[in-house]
Structure 1
Amino acid sequence: MKKFVGLVGTNSEQSTNRMLLQYMKHHFSGEADIEVVEIKDIPVFNKPEDKQIPEEVQVIADKIEAADGVIISTPEYDHAVPAALINALNWLSYGIYPFVDKPVMITGASYGTLGSSRAQAHLRQILDAPELKARIMPSSEFLLSHSLQAFDEDVNLKDQEQVDKLDGLFKDFLTFVAITNQMNHNHEQNKKDAANFSWEAN
């Protein structure tokens, strides 16, 4: 059984993105072990010269490193991902590179009609950065709109059409992970490239 990290892309105490990942953890328990991981306790990124990584960040990095893939669920603030998620990814690409070649599935929930579509596009751009170099599942968006009304009291999705779509995308992600695992011949060099990349030198 595959093991995935479900990264909650917000520091909000009340988040439908957290609920979505909790639903996925339960709903797909027969197909994968999904650990829901929080970023809300990560300190503000301050680019320490000694590259000392906070313990909270190192714990998450180790979980990502050990996982077969990562599912990130993000809300949308001002057409972008939350500052808390950017902050977490800043730390997770500073002297440590757990996302290099890691399969990533992006999901998102929002209170409005667009279901975090622009934030998801923004996140894809970030994850493609030289210091992250994640492998993002292509042509796949799970956009949960009107998310405050989307779950019942047991945190189950109420709309069967949404359930069916998520089922299909998750099966695609399992296939994507299997294919990606066969494309890791250059993994060590990719990690070295991420570690040696410098914006000042370019």
Structure 2
Amino acid sequence: MKLIGIVGTNADKSTNRTLLQYMQEHFADQAKIEICEVKDIPVFNKPSERVAPEQIRQLTDKITAADGVIISTPEYDHTIPAPLSNLLEWLAYTTQPLQNKPVMITGASYGVLGTSRAQTHLRQILNAPELKALVLPGKEYLLGHSLQAFNDKNVLVDTDKAQELDEYFANFVDFINKVKG
């Protein structure tokens, strides 16, 4: 199984990137997860020709070839970060590779609540007609206190949260297989 993991922030240091890196290694026997960044994507400017810039075309090709997408988002001011919103605007307006693509949402946050509000907002955005992603229903993975969640080798040390992630990922794999028929 081939998956794309999108780091939902352009911050140099992000526990959402760490979470995706952990998943990439931890689930390597079940899926190949390629991590993609939202860094260096130009600001969305609603081009009249609806032509995507090269960075968007490259990411579109990866999403199209993948079985599913994992988006790991922090929460800034109760919503997703602007760089992630920027990426989704480009994808919705130009190439639309998320249409009918299975998507799993995760989120890591320094605070206690994880990224519950951002994930809810992201689900709403991904439901837009131009995006129309198939978001794994009924599941959330909220990693609070994320600065303390990983050891120096980027291993998730909270066994309950690690087990919860294992179950969530298994649900996502099942979801992908059901969508594929």
User: How many aligned positions are there?
Assistant: 181
Identify unmatched segments of 5+ residues in structure 1. 183-202
RMSD: 0.6
Q: Distance in 2 between matches of 1:51 and 1:176?
A: 32
* Aligned pairs for 1:161-176 within 5 A: 161-176=160-175
* Aligned pairs for 1:87-98 within 5 A: 87-98=86-97
Q: Does 1:32 align with 2:31?
A: yes
Tell me the amino acid that sits aligned with residue 139 of structure 2: S
Percent identity between the two aligned chains: 57
Shift of 1:93: 1.2
Match of 1:141? 140
Match of 2:78? 79
Shift of 1:52: 2.0
Match of 1:185? none
**Counterpart secondary structure, 1:147:** coil
Tell me the amino acid that sits aligned with residue 89 of structure 2: N
* Aligned pairs for 1:19-168 within 5 A: 19-168=18-167
Shift of 1:40: 0.8
Shift of 1:95: 2.5
**Counterpart secondary structure, 2:118:** helix
Query: Scaled by the length of structure 1, what TM-score is found?
Result: 0.89
Tell me the amino acid that sits aligned with residue 145 of structure 1: G
Identify unmatched segments of 5+ residues in structure 2. none
Q: Distance in 2 between matches of 1:62 and 1:42?
A: 15
Tell me the amino acid that sits aligned with residue 42 of structure 1: I
